[in-house]
Structure 1
Amino acid sequence: MATQKNGDFFFRRQLVLVGGLTALVGSNGLRAQVPAVPKKAVTPASTANGWRLLINEAVTGETNSFVLTSRYRPLADFLSAQFKGRQIGVEPIVDIKRFMLMAQSPSKPDLVFGKSVNQLAKLVRDSGYQPLVRRADAYKAAFIVNKDSPIKSLTEAGGVKILMPDESAATSAVALAELRRQKVAATQVIHLRFQEAVAQQIKGGLGQVGVVNPTTAKKWVEDGGRVIAETQPVVNWSLLAAPGMSAEMVQQLREALLSMNAQASPVLVSLGIKEWAKGERKDYLDLLDYTKE
């Protein structure tokens, strides 16, 4: 009796399996008769109708890609409107070294915006990028000390611990240049990841002198700290065009960007820029001559 029940069970199971396979085959056969919906073609950003805008905010900027994309979207939209709806893809890159690798890759972006101007200067000198516009005011890094520090000038900073941001940052590059220029005696330089950390550690007594950007320096003074020196003024945040962009298009882009000073100043203010000025190749070469990079 047990054998018969087991046989019935086996038979019924076979029927279920066969029925399931038949349904599966029928389903696949039905699907095969329906034309597949083609996937939407992915168009590269750098085409006749699109540009890539590569963004890097250096070591003081936001690290959230969504926030960065949203921040620069109005700039991209303004340019898109000026060039008959040409689509511009915003690509924020947080890491400076990766940003440089992408800018120097065979598939170069059409536009590059960055705050580490010493790195942008290398793109101009070594990779053929074409300056479009720069932030109108010059960039100067500041040397800060606590209000009760005995150090009164940069020449008195020889042999002390100096804190600076990331080694790739323009702030560090111009600070080291200024130390060389003023022949400051050997010092112990320590690089931190973010500029904000420099001020915090100087305040906490973990270093005698700190190097920060103008915004941080201003707040430092407002909070009672002192600035003992500044670097030479150099070219500020910049927007560059790809090496292969035509001279005519470069001129049109520059004119469109300069028109933002009057037509889209709220967009510039949201980026921390009061107004654009024309970018000159010489400015970037002068910066590199100063930093010896």
Structure 2
Amino acid sequence: MRHILLVGALALAFAASPVRAANVLFGIAEGVAEQASFGELQDKYQPLADYLGRVLKNKVTLESSQNIPSAMANLQKGRFDLMFCRPSNVAAKAIRDNKYQLVAMAKGDFAANFIVRKDHSFKKPEDILPMIIAMPEGSSLMAKAGLATMRDMGGKPKPEQVRYTRYQEAVPFMLEKQFADVGIVAPVQAKAWEKKGGVVFFKSKKLPFWSIIASPRMSRADVDKMQKALIEMESSDEGKKILAKIGVKGWVPGKAQEYVEMLSWLGV
């Protein structure tokens, strides 16, 4: 009898003691805008993972990739607890279809940029519709946003007009070599094009920017803590260094509905 009581007491004590949560898996999806190795991505985002780990009082394990289909599959399975999404359509689909929570959105204006050579003769945006257009692969956000913008202008390029490329960095090269008349790229590539004397002729409507999202398993309290800590990064030396390393100006709360509305506009 004494043995039974002792076992029961131990069981109750164990049940009452706090159980440490499993490590937080933090996925990184950079997309086709950049070319970086797994090691380079891990080094780039490890300080951010460590920062969020201190906020959550838990170990945050980093898993970086440029394989967007794989990242989306893992989000559908609910494998990632957190994810930093460079292509905002990835976050949008996870928010709409898998109930992920928006933690914070990166600061900045984001749109598909239509770039042309400096010797172009276009007068208005509609003039580019019959031209040869270079863009990243068809599944990319920039390609979809570019096509949606042209659709709103009343045009749809024929298959023979479109030149797809694996990396956005190749789009300006195609214009330089006159393999295409117009290119569709993200703001980073557009700025580099302007520095070389090229022209950003027009842009799509403003799109929601990069974001950090959290699994529906994470508590609202933890999401709020992370959001607050991310927004405060601009106020500390450590935070500023992390922001500079990952190429983000700062964070704002953002609106999840804007991501969902973007998918409707893209026709996804």
Q: Give me the whole-angstrom Cα distance separating, in 2, the residues matched to 1:185 and 1:176.
A: 7
Matched residue type, 1:154? P
Matched residue type, 2:70? R
Q: Give me the whole-angstrom Cα distance separating, in 2, the residues matched to 1:219 and 1:202.
A: 13
1:103 pairs, out of 75, 86, 90, with 75
Q: Give me the whole-angstrom Cα distance separating, in 2, the residues matched to 1:168 and 1:260.
A: 33
Q: Give me the whole-angstrom Cα distance separating, in 1, the residues matched to 2:32 and 2:259.
A: 20
Structure with more relative contact order (C-alpha pairs < 8 Å, separation 6 or more): 2
Structure 2 gaps, min length 5: 1-19
**1:83 Cα shift?**
2.7
Write the deviation string for residues 42-94 of structure 1: whole angstroms up to 9, x where unpaired.
xxxxx71410000011102233111100100000111112233x111110121
Show the counterpart of 1:52: 25
Show the counterpart of 1:212: 185
Q: Give me the whole-angstrom Cα distance separating, in 1, the residues matched to 2:126 and 2:189.
A: 22
1:172 aligns with 2:147: no
1:123 aligns with 2:98: no
Preserved CA contact (<8 Å) 2:114 2:203: yes
2:204 pairs, out of 224, 231, 245, with 231
Show the counterpart of 1:282: 257
Preserved CA contact (<8 Å) 1:140 1:230: yes
Alignment of 1:1-293 (within 5 A): 48-84=21-57, 86-105=58-77, 107-184=78-155, 186-187=157-158, 188-263=161-236, 264-293=239-268
**1:182 Cα shift?**
1.2
Number of equivalenced pairs: 245
Show the counterpart of 2:10: none
Query: What is the DSSP-based 3-state SS (H/G/I as helix, E as strand, rest coil) of the residue aligned with 1:255?
Result: helix
Query: What is the DSSP-based 3-state SS (H/G/I as helix, E as strand, rest coil) of the residue aligned with 2:115?
Result: strand
Compute the TM-score of the two structures, normalised by the length of structure 1. Answer: 0.80
Matched residue type, 2:46? R
- Segments ≥4 residues shifted beyond 4 Å: none
Q: Give me the whole-angstrom Cα distance separating, in 2, the residues matched to 1:186 and 1:114.
A: 29
**1:161 Cα shift?**
1.2
Identity of aligned residues (%): 30
Matched residue type, 1:220? W
Q: Give me the whole-angstrom Cα distance separating, in 2, the residues matched to 1:126 and 1:285.
A: 9
Structure 1 gaps, min length 5: 1-46
Q: Give me the whole-angstrom Cα distance separating, in 2, the residues matched to 1:93 and 1:129.
A: 19
Preserved CA contact (<8 Å) 2:147 2:156: no
Q: Give me the whole-angstrom Cα distance separating, in 2, the residues matched to 1:152 and 1:197.
A: 26
Write the deviation string for residues 183-209 of structure 1: whole angstroms up to 9, x where unpaired.
135342222100000010111000111
Q: Give me the whole-angstrom Cα distance separating, in 2, the residues matched to 1:180 and 1:202.
A: 22
Query: What is the DSSP-based 3-state SS (H/G/I as helix, E as strand, rest coil) of the residue aligned with 1:71?
Result: helix
Instruction: Please tell me whether Structure 1 or Structure 2 has the larger radius of gyration of its CA atoms.
Output: 1
Show the counterpart of 1:41: none
Q: Give me the whole-angstrom Cα distance separating, in 2, the residues matched to 1:138 and 1:148.
A: 27
